[in-house]
Structure 1
Amino acid sequence: MAVRFSDGGGESLAPVLPLFPRAVRPSGEEPGRPGSGSTAWHEEECHPDAHAAPVTPAWPAWNAVSDEETPVPAAERIDAAEQLLLKRLRGRQLSVEEARSLLMERELDADEAEGIVGDFERRGYLDDARLADQLVHGALSRKAQGARAIAQALTARGISREVVDAVMADLPDDEAERALEFARQKVRAMRSLERDAALRRLHGQLARRGFGGPVAMTAARTALDEAGIGASGPRFR
């Protein structure tokens, strides 16, 4: 683009200089530095970032993710395990072995777990003998279970053999009566069966309740006789 101007003798064009000229480095001049006595050099070399290497931002140290987790102090682990055990005991009585297993799941070592178990036993929170008595009472009063089933239930809860043997020795000597009472309840649904089929089914039910062979067979036959199944005489309706 040019600007026209007049000096009285005619018009002529005046060159328009660019505002930001592209300087040319003189021949032989060292790149990136102005020549002696000259202030002209390439404009891109004037820019401070023209040839700078890319800079990777430095993240604060607190933002770094560590591969190692900070270990929980032993006192905090033990306190949390105790609170968990207390919570479980409020809902259900546990045996010593059940409590020990629960604590080991909390990443406690053997000594820490045994320390808590021993403390809870001294305070009366864990008592295998008391738990065994409760289980036996429920088995006799509500579940009509035989001695064999009761012993298996106690063992399944982790109660020691010594405690199981002591509790079983104190069982009342009324297993035959309990077996007969159970058989009388079940025989009512067997009136349409033949005697042998009813006897096999009733004996199997008694055996699964933990009543021993002779006791179960005697109770089954007595209940079938009383119901008149496969025998002469009136049947109970």
Structure 2
Amino acid sequence: MAGRRARTGRGWDASPPRAGDTTPRPRRGRPAAESEAAPRGEAGSGREAAPPRDEAEVAREICLRQLAVRPRTRAELAGALARRGISEEAATEVLDRYDEVGIIDDAAFARAWVTSRHAGRGLARRALANELRQRGVDGDTASEALGELDETTEAETARALVERKLRTARGEPDAVFRRLVGMLARKGYPPGVAIRAVKDALAAQSAEAAEFAEQIDADALTAAETEIDR
């Protein structure tokens, strides 16, 4: 119909073409220049690809991100770098430098770990030694840190753990005794420390528990448990 615009798939043609005119008429919509723009990063975009980053710089960033979460041992950081594909040469360079300036210090890590895990979780030296070994702390460094946790402190912590558990413990004295000794064993306490801590705590709890505790031969049980461990 004359005077009406013809609708196309992409827009409106404002007027009918004149006779003999074969020139494509622009349509409203997305400009051709925009639709034909070169993809980002290709020639003609005015942007050049970034040069490859120095491997040591990448290694430092990985280490700092790891250390921002919590202190790490050298072995832990070396493992993180290896998993990210950092070469052994670059990792050694960065970790040696961090050793020099004190950013990583396995001895300080071990001391702090022993103090915090004993106070917070009540872990004994045997359990703490296992955790330090899993984190790559060498035996001499771990032994030095564990030496700061003496037997008296360990026994006092075991007794405190038992007393806290006894407040909510239910069942016959013999069942409670076994559960509490097992709890201390899982935290790394040796049989003698665990058995004596539970016996003493039961003796102070009630008459029934005290009577049961009197029947416990701590030395004999300790010897038996030690033999089983071997």
Q: TM-score range by the shorter chain?
A: 0.5 to 0.7
Aligned match for 1:91, one of 59, 69, 78: 69
**2:161 maps to 1:182:** yes
- Look up the match of 1:215: 193
- Look up the match of 2:120: 142
- Residue identity matched to 1:94: R
Separation in structure 2 between the aligned mates of residue 91 and residue 232 of structure 1, nearest angstrom: 50
Out of 215-224 and 145-154, give the one that drifted further: 145-154
Structure with higher helix content:
2
- Look up the match of 1:12: none
Separation in structure 2 between the aligned mates of residue 231 and residue 205 of structure 1, nearest angstrom: 20
Measured after TM superposition, the shift of residue 136 of structure 1 is 0.9
**2:56 maps to 1:78:** yes
- Provide the secondary structure at the position in 2 that maps to 1:230: helix
Separation in structure 2 between the aligned mates of residue 213 and residue 121 of structure 1, nearest angstrom: 39
- Provide the secondary structure at the position in 1 that maps to 2:188: coil
Query: What CA deviation, in whole Å up to 9, does each residue of 1:167-221 have, x standing for no partner?
Result: 122323321111111111111222x411211110110011111111000000011
5+ unaligned residues in a row in structure 2: which ranges? Answer: 1-40, 43-48, 213-230
Out of 176-185 and 224-233, give the one that drifted further: 224-233
Alignment map for 1:156-167 (pairs within 5 Å): 156-167=134-145
Separation in structure 1 between the aligned mates of residue 56 and residue 210 of structure 2, nearest angstrom: 67
Is the 2:129–2:146 Cα contact (8 Å) retained in structure 1? yes
- Residue identity matched to 1:142: G
Separation in structure 1 between the aligned mates of residue 172 and residue 93 of structure 2, nearest angstrom: 61
User: Could you say if the C-alpha distance between residues 231 and 165 of structure 1 is closer, same or farther in structure 2, counting changes exceeding 3 Å?
Assistant: closer
- Provide the secondary structure at the position in 2 that maps to 1:159: coil
- Residue identity matched to 1:86: L
Separation in structure 2 between the aligned mates of residue 194 and residue 173 of structure 1, nearest angstrom: 30
Structure number with bigger Rg = 1
- CA RMSD after TM alignment: 2.3
Query: What CA deviation, in whole Å up to 9, does each residue of 1:108-150 have, x standing for no partner?
Result: 2212211111011111111001111111111232221111111
Measured after TM superposition, the shift of residue 87 of structure 1 is 2.0
Out of 76-85 and 201-210, give the one that drifted further: 76-85
Query: What CA deviation, in whole Å up to 9, does each residue of 1:86-106 have, x standing for no partner?
Result: 122122111000010111122
- Look up the match of 2:88: 110
Separation in structure 2 between the aligned mates of residue 122 and residue 165 of structure 1, nearest angstrom: 23
**2:172 maps to 1:194:** yes
Alignment map for 1:11-50 (pairs within 5 Å): none
- Residue identity matched to 2:145: V
- Provide the secondary structure at the position in 2 that maps to 1:81: helix
5+ unaligned residues in a row in structure 1: which ranges? Answer: 1-61, 64-69
